[in-house]
Copies of this chain bind each other. A is one copy, B any other.
Amino acid sequence: MHLTLPDPLHLSLAVSGEKLFVTYLLQADVEREALEKAKDICLEQTVEFPDDLVPPGSLRDTIIGKIVDFGKKDDTTWFAQISFAFETFGNDLLQMLNVIFGNISIKPGIKVIDIALPESFAGRIRGPRFGVEGIRKLVGVEHRPLICTALKPMGLSAEQLAEQAYRFARGGIDLIKDDHGLADQPFAPFTKRVRLCSEAVRRANEETGRNCLYLPNITCSADRIRERAHFAKECGVGGLLISTLLTGFDSMRMLADSDELQLPIMAHPAFSGAFVTSKANGISHGLFYGLFMRLFGADMSVYPNFGGRFSFSVDECRGIAEFCRRPLGALKAIFPTPGGGMTTDKASIMLDVYGRDFVLLIGGGLHRHSPDIEANARYFVQMLENL
């Protein structure tokens, strides 16, 4: 039985023939089950209609996803590459996420591991405004990984955080971000914190002749985020820190795209872990922290480094770096920004895994090394210079 419609179904879609290709891993006991899952994705992500209700003709031919590749990976895992017509999402990046992993995010045993975008679509996305090259130019460091630290802990006053920022900048740190938990708490209110920390870093820059960037955390409600970004810009900040899964992907994209702001964006992974923690469900580390963050305008994507207090593997981290750089239209390459317990030994392993184009995010270690955080900063910058 087919769909009953007021008029005979005559769709005359101007279909470009351009497709989005998405690769899924499918958990199943037998091949037939995996193939059913793949077919289900084709329907669920487009017409959201049982197969027997979809009429023949152009709707079936154009709108429903198509399996273009399918095979076995291991005993319980298959892969399927599915193509979706460009017209299912148009120029809408959020709707593209919806086509890739909307309803099927709720079905168990489906993991998205790769996508290939229509050339025409990739060409219309601005993506990161600065990228690796732009950020390197801003901080004036071309030859080594960059180093970033966070103002912390939550609970300090704006004055205390600003003094910390001053010392880190004096010590040669390239990028100083707010700890992502600093919001607008009474002990260090947003406007006061951003004003004092910007001033502190500017003062240090005047003294050192360098250009350390301060990135305040502007994560906040949807109706105030633009205002906070503009306030930060007026204070002379060097960029913005955004917890992308808290604000929503597109709030980050909106700020990255703003010609009035023109500020580097650092994406923070808070609240995002559920997307990647399962082997069977969700989205691969590379696609999520690499390509998705990049498509939505991040110049730097923060995530926990392998071997730290979180549990990302070396391969997962390598995957992130690959997706940060993979050639894609005119989209700029961005900085993987791994954080977590840092030692000299570890830094050289990181150089093997990431190459020179990464931002080393260092927190506790910079406080622990000695009581003098300015000296500690110098020590770690020197460590990177010597790699």
Instruction: Give chain A's interface residues, CB within 8 Å of chain B.
Output: 1, 3-7, 9, 11, 13-14, 40, 44-50, 53-54, 59, 62-63, 87-90, 92-95, 97-99, 101-108, 150, 152-157, 160, 163-164, 167, 179-181, 183-187, 219-223, 243, 246-251, 253-254, 269-278, 281-283, 303-304, 309-311, 363-364, 367-368, 371-373
Give every chain B residue within 8 A of A220 (Cβ-Cβ): 92, 94-95
> What is the bound-complex CA distance between A104 and B180, given in angstroms?
13
Q: Which residue of B lies closest to A52 (CB)?
A: B368
B59 touches A153 (CB 8 A): yes
Closest B residue to A246 by beta carbon equals: B94
Q: A6-B163, A46-B181 are in contact. List 14 more A-B contacts (CB 8 A).
A: A3-B367, A4-B367, A4-B372, A9-B156, A47-B154, A54-B153, A63-B155, A94-B220, A94-B221, A95-B184, A97-B271, A222-B222, A222-B251, A248-B251
Whether A271 contacts B160 in the complex (CB less than 8 A), given A222-B222, A247-B248, A251-B248, comes out as no
Question: In the complex, are the beta carbons of A88 and B181 less than 8 A apart?
Answer: yes
Whether A275 lies near B274 (C-beta < 8 A) is yes
Q: Say how far A261's CB is from chain B's closest CB, in angstroms.
A: 13
Classify the secondary structure of A's interface with B.
loop
Complex Cα distance A241/B122, Å?
28
Q: Please, which residues of chain B bring their CB within 8 A of the CB of A3? A: 153, 367
A281 contacts B270, C-beta separation under 8 Å: no
Cβ-closest chain B residue relative to A14 = B186
Given contacts A1-B368, A46-B181, A181-B98, contact A62 B13 (CB under 8 A): no
Question: Which residues of chain B are within 8 angstroms of A88 by Cβ–Cβ distance?
Answer: 154, 181, 185
What is the bound-complex CA distance between A269 and B309, given in angstroms?
A: 31
Compute how far the CA of A347 lies from the CA of B234 in the bound complex, rounded to whole angstroms.
58
Min CB gap A282→B, angstroms: 4
What are 15 A-B pairs with beta-carbon distances under 8 A? Answer: A6-B163, A11-B157, A13-B187, A48-B153, A59-B156, A62-B155, A98-B180, A98-B183, A98-B246, A108-B277, A246-B249, A248-B250, A248-B251, A274-B281, A278-B281
- Give the contacting residue for A11; candidates B155, B164, B251, B275; CB below 8 A: B155
Q: How far is the CA of A163 from the CA of B4 in the complex (A)?
A: 11
A370 CB to nearest B CB, Å: 8
Bound form: Cα–Cα A167–B53 in Å: 18
Number of copies of this chain in the oligomer?
2
A95's nearest neighbour on chain B, judged by CB, is: B183
Residues of B within 8 A of A272 (CB): 105-106
Closest Cβ of chain B to A193, distance in Å, is 13
Closest-by-CB residue of B relative to A269 is B106
Query: Complex Cα distance A98/B154, Å?
Result: 13
Bound Cα distance A363, B9 (Å): 19
Docked CA distance A184–B158 (Å): 45
List of B residues within 8 angstroms of A94 by Cβ? 183, 219-221, 243, 246-247
Check A271 against B102 for contact (C-beta < 8 Å). yes
Q: Chain B residues with Cβ under 8 A from A40's Cβ?
A: 309
User: Which residues on the B side are within 8 Å of A163 (C-beta)?
Assistant: 5-7
User: Once bound together, how far apart are the Cα atoms of A271 and B250, in whole Å?
Assistant: 14
- CA separation between A351 and B181, bound complex, in Å? 43
Do A185 and B90 have beta carbons less than 8 Å apart?
Answer: yes
Say yes or no: B248 contacts A105, CB within 8 Å: no
**Is the CB–CB distance between B102 and A180 below 8 Å?**
yes
What residues of B have a CB within 8 angstroms of the CB of A373 in the complex?
A: 4
Residues of B within 8 A of A243 (CB): 94, 98, 102
CB nearest neighbor in B for A303: B106
| Separation of A270 and B185 alpha carbons in the complex (Å) | 32
From A15, which residue of chain B is reached at the shortest CB distance?
A: B186
